[in-house]
Every structure is written in structure tokens, then in C-alpha cells.
Structure 1
Amino acid sequence: MQLRELAHSRTGDKGDTLNVSVICRDLRDYLHLREHVTAERVHAHLRDVVHGDVTRFEMPEICALNFVLRHALGGGVTRSLALDAHGKSLGSALLSLDVPVPLRAD
């Protein structure tokens, strides 16, 4: 299944650094996503765009993961003619990541 079935995202940018938050739709899926949506998987999934480090921050209080992607915006909003200068479509691209179906008793 795709990550978008379990979460939604928000993005923000600062220079050439992109911030992508992955927020669980159902709080019961947080531990599952924490296990399967790692910084390494995010970096591999977006490897054609992200040319620096990916750091993951866990926010269990709000059942979200926050990723900081360095060198992801082609130099930054004011220095790049890239089509997606603010990185908004990268949030959607990340949500196409394949994750296992969570096992939970509903």
C-alpha cells in the first residue's frame, strides 16, 4: 500500500533545505509508520532530487514524523529555476512510498 493511505504531509522550505512532515490519519498507525518510514527509505525514495542528508524527527505526541531533506531544492527558492522551487510536490512524491499494510485489530 502507499503511504498516502495512512498519512498526509505538509512541507516547508528554507533555502535549499526542505521539511516534510508525515502525519498519521489514524493514531493507531504511528508505530507502524515509525518502523517503516525511515530516513534511509525516504532518502532512497527521493534520491533523484535529494542530494544531501535526510534526518528524521519523531513527534509521538501528534503521531507524526518530520523529515529534514538537505540539498533538495536545486539551490533554493531564490536561486533556482526548478519547477517545484518550494518542494510542495515532494510531499506528494513521498506519499507514494510503499509500506506494508498495518496489522491491527479494528
Structure 2
Amino acid sequence: MSTPLHALAHARAGDKGNRLNIALVAHRAGDWPLLAAQVTEAKVLALFAHRGATSVRRFDLPGLGAFNFVIEDVLQGGVNGALNLDGHGKTLSFLLLQMPVERG
């Protein structure tokens, strides 16, 4: 059964220059392995490809039931260089939270 990621986790985004940082935290610790298997660097990169993302690094924090994703070149130049309304990238965590995940 497919469900949006926001049913299993919440997220918080931050930025520095043209780099976006998204913390993803499972609502329940027991869902962390499922998220680890499905919310991969490759899938996150594909999700943000339309914004020009060039790479994604995922840092696993199993003790916290969380992940930290660092997404490069996704802010279209960053707050000082982008023409978009959200140069800070604060709302981009919602894009990640729409990602479908399969629940067993």
C-alpha cells in the first residue's frame, strides 16, 4: 500500500547558499528501517531534479529515528541569487513529504 511520506515522518528544512538541508524524522521509531530502505539518496535526487539538484547525501541518525539530507544546487542560486519566491528553501521539505512510500 502506497502512502505519502508525511504519514510516517515530519521534516524541517534549512539552507546555506545553494545547498538545502532537510531533516526527516520518523513519527514512530519502528518506521525508521522502512524509511531507510525507501527514502534513498537516488530517490530524493530524482524528486528535486527539476530544480537543478546535482547531488544528495543522506546522513543516518538511527538513534534519533531521523535522517539528514544535504541537497546541492537546488535553490537556484540561493537566497541572494534566485528569482523564485522561496530562495531560502524552507517550504521544500513539503516536496519531500509528498514522496510515496510503500507500507507492508
Q: Which residue of 1 aligns with 2:24?
A: 22
CA apart distance, 1:50: 3.8
Aligned partners of 1:42, 1:57: CA distance in 2, in Å? 13
The runs of 4+ residues in structure 1 deviating greater than 2 Å are none
CA shift in 2, pair 1:62/1:45, >3 Å: same
Comparing 4-13 with 40-49, greater Cα deviation is found at 40-49
**How far apart are the structure 1 equivalents of 2:76 and 2:54?**
11
Farther-moved stretch of structure 1 (39-48 vs 80-89) = 80-89
- Partner in structure 2 of residue 78 of structure 1: 80
Q: Is 1:9–2:36 an aligned residue pair? A: no
Q: Any gaps of 5 or more consecutive residues in structure 2?
A: none
CA distance in 1, matches of 2:23, 2:95: 12
Instruction: Please report how far the alpha carbon of residue 46 of structure 1 lies from its aligned counterpart in structure 2 after TM superposition.
Output: 1.7
> Does structure 1 residue 36 correspond to structure 2 residue 15?
no
Match of 1:64 in 2: 66
Distance in 2 (alpha carbons) for counterparts of 1:20 and 1:26: 18
Q: Which amino acid aligns with 2:4?
A: Q
Question: Compared with structure 1, are the counterparts of its residues 63 and 50 closer, same or farther at alpha carbon in structure 2 (3 Å cutoff)?
Answer: farther
TM-score, normalised relative to structure 1: 0.91
Helix, strand or coil at the partner of 2:49: coil
Q: Using the TM superposition, give the Cα deviation of residue 81 of structure 1 relative to its aligned residue in structure 2, in angstroms.
A: 2.1
Task: Map Cα deviations across residues 5-44 of structure 1 (whole Å, 9 max, x no partner).
Answer: 0000001100000001110001110011000000000111
Q: In the TM superposition, what is the alpha-carbon distance from 1:80 to its structure 2 partner? A: 1.6
Aligned-partner SS, 2:59: strand
How many pairs are equivalent?
Answer: 102
Aligned to 1:45: 47
Instruction: Name the one with the larger strand percent.
Output: 2
Compare the two structures and name the one with the higher helix fraction.
2
Contact 2:48 2:74 in 1 (8 A): no
Structure-2-length-normalised TM-score: 0.93
> Structure 1: any 5+ residue segments left out of the alignment?
none
1:43 is paired with a residue whose SS is helix
